[in-house]
Amino acid sequence: MKTTPRKVIVARLSHESHSFSKLVTTLADFAREELRFGPAMLSSAAGTRTELGGITDAARQYSWQLVPTVSACAPTGGPVSRAAYDALTEPLLAAAAAHPDAEAVVLSLHGAMFVEGLPDPEGDLLQRLRERLGASVVLAASLDLHANVTDQMVRNADLMTSYRTTPHVDQYETGLRLCQLVERTLRGEILPRLHVARRAMLSGMDLGRTLRESPMTRLQARARNCEHEVDAVQDISLLAGYYMGDVYEAGPSVLVIGNGGDESCARIAGELIDDAYSWRAEKTVRLQSIDAAIARCREPATRPGPLILADYTDGPGGGGYGDATGLLLALLAAHLPGTMVGPMYDPQTAREAIAAGVGGEREFRVGGKTDPAFGGGPLQLRARVLAVSDGRYVRTGPFKTGTPASLGPSALLECGAVRILVASTRMQAEERGQYRVLGIDVEQANVLALKGINHFRADLEPIARGIVFVESGGIHATDLRTLPYRNVRRPIWPLDD
Amino acid sequence: MKNTGTDLTVKVIAARICHESHAFSVLPTTLTDFANQELLVGEQILAQRRSTRSEMGGIIDAADRLGWDLIPVISCNTAPSGPVTRATYEALLEPILREAASTDGLRAVVISLHGSMFVEGLPDPEGDLLRRIKDVVGRHVVLAATLDLHANVTDEMVRHADLMTSYRTTPHVDQFETAMRLCGLVDRTLRREIRPTMHVARRAMIAGMDLGRTLADGPMVQILREARALEHRVPGLLDIGVNAGYPYGDVYDMGPSVVVVGDGDDPAYAQAAEHLMNMAEAMRDVTTVKLVPVETAIQLASEPAAGAGPLLLAEYTDGPGGGGYGDATRLLEALLTARIPGTVVGALYDPVSARQAIALGVGACTVFEIGGRTDARFGGDPVRVEATVVALSDGAYVRRGPFETGTRASLGPCARLDVDGVQVIVASYRIQAEDREQYRILGIDPEGSNVIALKGINHFRADFEPIARGIVFVEAGGIVASDLRVLPYKRVRRPVWPLDA
């Protein structure tokens, strides 16, 4: 018997928004990174190891008729402007109105977006879709492992599942798994119920790291075990949360998808979050003060390769501004031979250096321009221009291998023993190619101070003699008590200890 | 006086927000439409527009020559359609406002506008955006705009911009020169060689200037010739923008206008503007294109061919290039009745029939309901026919005609149907007739056809006029109405010609 294919609306709206960053994320940020509409979003996703790649493969397997709407993603940054949010969601809401016969909506979300005046945009979006499409449509979303899962999201979605790795290498599998749950729901094989559990903690699960044995890997192992042993449990997501998101429910959560009204699911969610709570202070990465980092640099090298000073709290990958100067100031004073700093976001200095030309020497005001309150203001210094570049490179490290990227117009400055790479793109350190475009052989550096949290480790950890994670006062703060939370539920660890 | 600031670089923001919006179309224009045609930000603008004959190409070239430190922000455009949604407008404008607010030492903002955008609840968006940019940058930063020749220039635009200049050709082939000219004026203003003032003149008319056509020696050509003479003759007169206006907007100040840019204050500038508008008013009903009713078109098509090549029936009033829906059926219905041998109709916008034909496959014969789905008030209902599927295509083609030669385009999934010998093309994208390849991909030989009924206003002429034995422009009730009195204007000043004639 020939049946009409099921119509499934698909969209992707992904952003991790640092609530306290003053860099508002606009349409331009999405257009620079990922912004596609209609069929174009599917054709570009086909064959990639992304959520949309997984969703398109699943749709083919289940013979769904996909209605592609919008696919938008921007690098971690400040709150998304209301204008951008409204314009990006409009095509999806219009499709929901135009296709009342859609049986499901499959969304790829981050889960930690923050919009000006709207702390829970994912909850808002799911609710608006629910209102338009009614109770019978299956509303499903994939989430980043750093999602802040809100009650509004849980109330309106039928299905949600998240990544299980950090760095996140299982986007494709997550999209596929979600669609499998959607298909089983549409066939009436399961009657999904979402159970969420949280504790009074804003941080925990070791921020979700799964590179080595950690609270997160232990929790994941237990979760897989429960899925295996308890019939009602269909899927378990462990979410480390994103503590830079100022929403009531911010922080780690456990999300269990149960079949029907089985009591065991809520109990399992509770047990897992209790474990997470008891391990909340356990971390595989420790940050050190600037002074301690400089002291480490003075210790004799026991292995070849640079000592990496990761300026964790200013890492653009976590929403940092990438131009904090506290660590640079200390390194200029320390006079350590072979010190390399950067890339540091400073388009003005890059432009001035390019205008001065290679060999030119002049006064620069380096970095610290975005918000001197976090990590130090601009440094007035005299420097010589060693090299300039358009900043373009092709990634050769393990992260997104073979794809093009760019620092934007950029320059290498020399000031005493310190060389500084200034760039026009606010970009996290991610691989050696970023240094090669300015003629730097980073393996030969003695000390490499970079703006990085996670991704740089893939390409740079193997060549380093060590990594020191530095707390330098940037906006990606590790002492959460310095942040001006307004919406988070209180009391909560570690704010109210 | 010389700029004695420490930062000698001349920082100039470049942006483009361009759309011709049919105020009465039911098709809202969203971010999807811009992203599918042109939506570039930052460095992407330099990478994709440098060395092109576009406004942005001209701005980039001028900036290089003048040594500006150019800050490209956003560049967007999409095909004429209905009102832009408010959310889309705000999202497109926001990056410009933020960049303007955060750039220290900014000297100028150069923006490429159409001038006939219409936003839900905001009939004069260009006036709005120029005001909001000026509010952010202050009056010492030069705010300059290029305009399409079909701009509806409002008082609000004139009030907040320091400089505006328009295309001088239709079809528009001088985008690059327009931007270069504007940047030259900006540069002279920044050097304090000139102190520009603007003077606008209008008459009680919302149509005229032969809709700006410059292919034949009509009213527009004569007015432009006089404008160039005035630029030479009147001391201090810097530039004259002659705007034919866009009759499908719905804003108070709409219609033909002349904008004179002068150096300092001189009554001669306003006089020049008034003089040119007097010319335009005197010739307001002179047009180089005449539309005929459907019956006349059928009669002309039925006559024995007086030459080689097809007779083109250009369904002007439904042309997507002017904001038409591209699926009006009145002419189609008449041609199906007439059954003139060798008739080709299309492409009509009809994704439903296209999908249906593709699902059935070549050779299948069934009942289709063709076209008329968007808004049956304009140009007729769906036409129910029995048809055979002759050919199918994904619709992709490479333009071989003179218009954007060598670039890629697509009709979307499409089909060729045979209805009692009449070939009808149904397509999934709402696209104007523009290139013979649109027919060849479905196995139709345009040169060998007898009658081709297409949805076109202007652009198709570049590739089709040379092979046609004639062109008949047809009034078939579409939304690009030739009788403006059928349109529900709400905001235009009254009385105005031809509404109240």
Give pLDDT, residue A400: 66
Give pLDDT, residue B6: 44
Report the phi/psi class of residue B258: left, alpha or beta, with left for phi > 0 and alpha for psi in -120 to 50.
beta
Residues of A in contact with B82 (CB under 8 A): none
Q: Write out the two tokens for A305.
A: 């390769």
Give the closest residue to A184 by CA, choosing from A157, A162, A159, A156: A159
Q: Per mean pLDDT, which range of A111-115, A239-243, A396-400 is the poorest?
A: A396-400
Q: What's the pLDDT band for B128 if we cut at 50, 70, 90? A: very high
Give pLDDT, residue B121: 93
Q: What percent of chain B has pLDDT over 90?
A: 83
**Could you tell me the sign of the dihedral formed by the alpha carbons of B109, B115, B119, B123, in that order?**
positive
Q: Does A22 touch chain B (CB under 8 A)?
A: no
Give pLDDT, residue B405: 73
Reply yes or no on whether the pLDDT at A375 is more than 60. Answer: yes
Q: Which residue has the higher pLDDT, A211 or B372?
A: B372
Q: How many helices (H) and strands (E) are present in chain B, helices listed first? A: 14, 20
Whether A208 and A146 have beta carbons less than 8 Å apart is answered as yes
pLDDT tens for A381-393 read 999 999 999 999 8
Q: Return the bridge partners of A287, or none.
A: A469
Q: Write out the two tokens for B34.
A: 């811009």
**Strands B470-475 vs B291-293: parallel, antiparallel or unpaired:** parallel
pLDDT tens for B162-188 read 999 999 998 788 999 999 999 999 999
Q: Give burial (CB, 10 Å; 0-12/13-18/19+) of B445.
A: exposed
Min Cα–Cα distance to chain B from A27, Å: 6
Whether B475 and B291 have beta carbons less than 8 Å apart is answered as yes
A28 vs B35, B41, B85: nearest CB: B41
Question: Is B87 in Cβ contact with A83 (below 8 Å)?
Answer: yes
- Give ipTM to 2 decimals: 0.83
Strand residues in A101-175 grouped as ranges (E)? 104-109, 138-143, 159-162
pLDDT tens for A239-288 read 999 999 999 999 999 999 999 988 899 999 999 999 999 999 999 888 99
Work out the average pLDDT over A110-130.
97
Q: What's the pLDDT band for B423 if we cut at 50, 70, 90? A: very high
Query: Largest Cα–Cα distance in chain B?
Result: 79
Whether B244 and B256 have beta carbons less than 8 Å apart is answered as yes
Q: Return the amino acid letter for B363.
A: G
In sequence order, the 6+-apart residues with CB closer than 8 A to the CB of A136 are none
Interface of chain B against chain A, CB under 8 Å? Answer: 9, 30-32, 35-36, 39-44, 69, 73-74, 85, 87-88, 90-95, 98
Tell me the backbone φ, ψ of residue A341, rounded to 5 degrees. Answer: -125, 130
Give the closest residue to B112 by CA, choosing from B74, B158, B154, B70: B74
Q: Give burial (CB, 10 Å; 0-12/13-18/19+) of A422.
A: buried
Q: How many helices (H) and strands (E) are present in chain A, helices listed first? A: 14, 20
**Chain A: residue whose CA lies nearest to B15:** A28
Give Cα B136 distance to the centre of its chain: 29
Q: Of A346-350, A451-455, B415-419, which has the strongest mean pLDDT? A: B415-419
Q: What's the pLDDT band for B321 if we cut at 50, 70, 90? A: confident
CA distances from A467 to A308, A313, A317, A345, B414 (A): 5, 15, 17, 22, 58
A residues 306-365 closer than 8 Å to B (CB): 351, 355
Q: What's the pLDDT band for B459 if we cut at 50, 70, 90? A: confident
Give pLDDT, residue B165: 98
Q: Does A40 touch chain B (CB under 8 A)?
A: yes
CA–CA dist A316, A342 (Å, integer): 12
Work out the average pLDDT over A448-463.
91
Reply yes or no on whether the pLDDT at B222 is more than 50. Answer: yes
**CA A291, A296, A301 angle in degrees (round to 5)?**
160
Q: Which residue has the higher pLDDT, B333 or A318?
A: B333
In sequence order, the 6+-apart residues with CB closer than 8 A to the CB of A401 are A395
Whether B14 and B70 have beta carbons less than 8 Å apart is answered as yes
B85 vs A36, A38, A90: nearest CB: A90
Q: What is the DSSP string of B405-472?
A: TT-EEE--SEEEEEETTEEEEEESS------THHHHTTT--GGG-SEEEE--SSTTHHHHGGG-SEEE
CA–CA dist A272, B47 (Å, integer): 51
Residues of A in contact with B69 (CB under 8 A): 351
Reply yes or no on whether the pLDDT at A475 is more than 90. Answer: no
Reply yes or no on whether the pLDDT at B2 is more than 70. Answer: no
| CB neighbourhood size of A406 (10 A) | 18
Tell me the backbone φ, ψ of residue B286, rounded to 5 degrees. Answer: -85, 120
Tell me the backbone φ, ψ of residue B314, rounded to 5 degrees. Answer: -85, 110
Min Cα–Cα distance to chain A from B430, Å: 15
CA–CA dist A264, B28 (Å, integer): 49
Work out the average pLDDT over B143-152.
97
Work out the average pLDDT over A408-424.
96
Give pLDDT, residue B1: 33
CA–CA dist B104, B135 (Å, integer): 15
pLDDT tens for B264-287 read 999 999 999 999 999 999 999 999
**Chain A: residue whose CA lies nearest to B413:** A39
Q: What's the pLDDT band for A1 if we cut at 50, 70, 90? A: very low
Report the phi/psi class of residue A185: left, alpha or beta, with left for phi > 0 and alpha for psi in -120 to 50.
alpha
Reply yes or no on whether the pLDDT at B5 is more than 70. Answer: no
Q: Does A44 touch chain B (CB under 8 A)?
A: no
Q: Write out the two tokens for B199.
A: 């003077």
pLDDT tens for A76-98 read 899 999 999 999 999 999 999 99
Give pLDDT, residue B7: 53
Whether B390 and B312 have beta carbons less than 8 Å apart is answered as no
**Chain B: residue whose CA lies nearest to A352:** B9
Min Cα–Cα distance to chain A from B41, Å: 6
Give pLDDT, residue B363: 96
CA distances from B435 to B308, B410, B468 (A): 19, 11, 13
Q: Does A233 touch chain B (CB under 8 A)?
A: no
pTM for the model stands at 0.87
Q: In what order do the strands lie in the sheet with B383-393?
A: B291-293, B470-475, B311-314, B451-454, B343-349, B422-427, B414-419, B383-393, B365-370
Reply yes or no on whether the pLDDT at A202 is more than 60. Answer: yes
Q: What's the pLDDT band for B386 if we cut at 50, 70, 90? A: very high
CA–CA dist A157, A139 (Å, integer): 5
Report which DSSP code applies to A151. Answer: H
Q: Radius of gyration (Cα) for chain B, nearest Å? A: 24
Work out the average pLDDT over B135-159.
97
Q: Return the bridge partners of B343, or none.
A: B451
B35 vs A28, A35, A84: nearest CB: A35
Whether B9 and A354 have beta carbons less than 8 Å apart is answered as no
Whether A46 and B50 have beta carbons less than 8 Å apart is answered as no
pLDDT tens for A8-47 read 999 999 999 999 988 899 999 999 888 999 888 888 788 7
Q: What's the pLDDT band for B51 if we cut at 50, 70, 90? A: confident
Reply yes or no on whether the pLDDT at A2 is more than 70. Answer: no
Best residue of A4, A27, A92 to probe chain B, by most B CBs closer than 10 Å: A27
Question: Is A86 in Cβ contact with B32 (below 8 Å)?
Answer: no
Q: What's the pLDDT band for B4 if we cut at 50, 70, 90? A: very low
Residues of A in contact with B428 (CB under 8 A): none
Give pLDDT, residue A325: 97
CA–CA dist B124, B252 (Å, integer): 9
pLDDT tens for B58-114 read 999 999 999 999 999 999 999 899 999 999 999 999 999 999 999 989 999 999 999
Reply yes or no on whether the pLDDT at A146 is more than 60. Answer: yes
**Strands A65-73 vs A34-37: parallel, antiparallel or unpaired:** antiparallel
Reply yes or no on whether the pLDDT at B198 is more than 90. Answer: yes
Q: Map residue B370 onto helix, strand or coil.
A: strand
User: What is the interface size between A and B, counted as CB pairs within 8 Å?
Assistant: 76
Work out the average pLDDT over A168-182.
94
User: How many alpha carbons lie under 13 Å from residue B271 in its C-beta half-sphere?
Assistant: 9
**Chain A: residue whose CA lies nearest to B75:** A28
Task: Please report, in angstroms and rounded to a whole number, the separation of the first and last CA atoms in chain A.
Answer: 64
